Amino acid sequence: MLFDRILEDALGFIRRLLWWRSQTSESSAPKPFQSMRAINGEYGVIALVTGRDTPRAVRTWIYSPKRLDLNSTKALVREPADDLHIYLDFLGPLPGVETPKAQQERKDRQQKRRLGEKIHTHRLQILKASHFLNENGFYDYQLIFWEDFDFFWPISQGPDHLARITLDRLAYWCLNHVDPIDLSADDWAAALRSVWGELTSQSSTNAAKPSSRRIRSAGEADASAPRLFS
């Protein structure tokens, strides 16, 4: 199983590299992610960004710690620290791909779903990353946490919708912690359980956002909320 996962990740890297090269001309230089929206917190900033080098990218957040140390007399700029990259990727055949292999995979996944089997729909990854691009035009990465999840819920607006809400909540969760960059894989698993518990709970709905409130209300009406964790 471990060998299969290593092989799958290696093949995924090759596919992303080939896709990136096909989208990049020889005259264009690699670019950092482009921020769409930034939210300021007490200890850091989260930014919703675009520009990841894979067609499977669904949503990407970056957490950056604040780089100012305040004392009684002046503000001192710290050396650039690492950031956190929080990735959400789509699993399964890509929408719009109609090759025989993709069509067969869709049929197989639908059949397994009808039989009640768990089918992973998205992969969530958390990586420690350099704040600036390296000399090759890429970020320096260290994988902290990853897991595949099944976000299918018949009464929701689709797996992508539920997956995005979960990732957004996790990004906001980072703003309430002094230094989430130091968290371990077990810490992130616990954080995800907490976020997921909030989304599917039957109480504390008054402070929820409209989209999240719809998810919670559905959970109140139907106890068959999806289980992300075994």
pLDDT tens-digit profile of 130-180?
988 888 888 899 999 999 999 987 766 788 899 999 999 999 999 988 889
Q: Could you give the CA distance from residue 29 to residue 44 in angstroms, rounded to a whole number?
A: 29
pLDDT score of 134: 85
Q: Could you give the CA distance from residue 43 to residue 64 in angstroms, rounded to a whole number?
A: 9
Q: Is the pTM of this model over 0.75?
A: no
Q: How confident is the model at residue 220 (pLDDT cuts 50, 70, 90)?
A: very low
Q: How confident is the model at residue 121 (pLDDT cuts 50, 70, 90)?
A: very high
The 3-state DSSP class for residue 176 equals coil
Asked if pLDDT for residue 188 goes beyond 70, the answer is: yes
Q: How many percent of the chain have pLDDT more than 70?
A: 67
Contact 196, 190 (CB under 8 A): no
Counting Cβ atoms within 10 Å, is residue 16 exposed (0-12), middle (13-18) or buried (19+)? middle
DSSP one-letter code for 147:
E
